[in-house]
Amino acid sequence: MPEQQKLDFAVIGSQKCASTWIYDCLKDHPKLNLRNSKNEDFYYGGTVYKQKGNDWYFSQFSKKENLPKGCVSVDYIEDAATPGLLYALNPEIKRIV
């Protein structure tokens, strides 16, 4: 059975606090794998995720293998359920606020 997809880190941003700039910097890093888009509607645990599922969510990442996967969203700070979901996915996840 293949290992479940997981996030290695999540940037928990806030509105107007440079989260898009942070995403752009991290996206350009050659040793990181971020989602192809920072579209806020598609955050892990959000409505679109719940409709489309884990396989769909992780298909949004580039095909860089064996690199830490991460995401950036301002919605994480407002969604009380997300920290638990992130932890359940990977108890060792790095959370950057």
Task: Answer yes or no: are the C-beta atoms of 33 and 69 closer than 8 Å.
Answer: yes
Question: What tokens appear for 96 in the block?
Answer: 């950057």
> Which one-letter DSSP state was computed for residue 75?
S
Q: How many CB atoms lie within 10 A of CB 72?
A: 25
pLDDT given for residue 65 in this prediction: 76
pLDDT given for residue 4 in this prediction: 64
Task: Answer yes or no: are the C-beta atoms of 37 and 72 closer than 8 Å.
Answer: no
Task: Answer yes or no: are the C-beta atoms of 22 and 13 closer than 8 Å.
Answer: yes
pLDDT digit string (tens) for the chain, length 97 residues = 245 688 999 998 888 889 899 999 999 999 999 988 777 667 888 888 889 988 888 888 887 778 999 999 888 888 888 888 889 889 999 999 8
pLDDT given for residue 97 in this prediction: 87
pTM across the whole model: 0.85
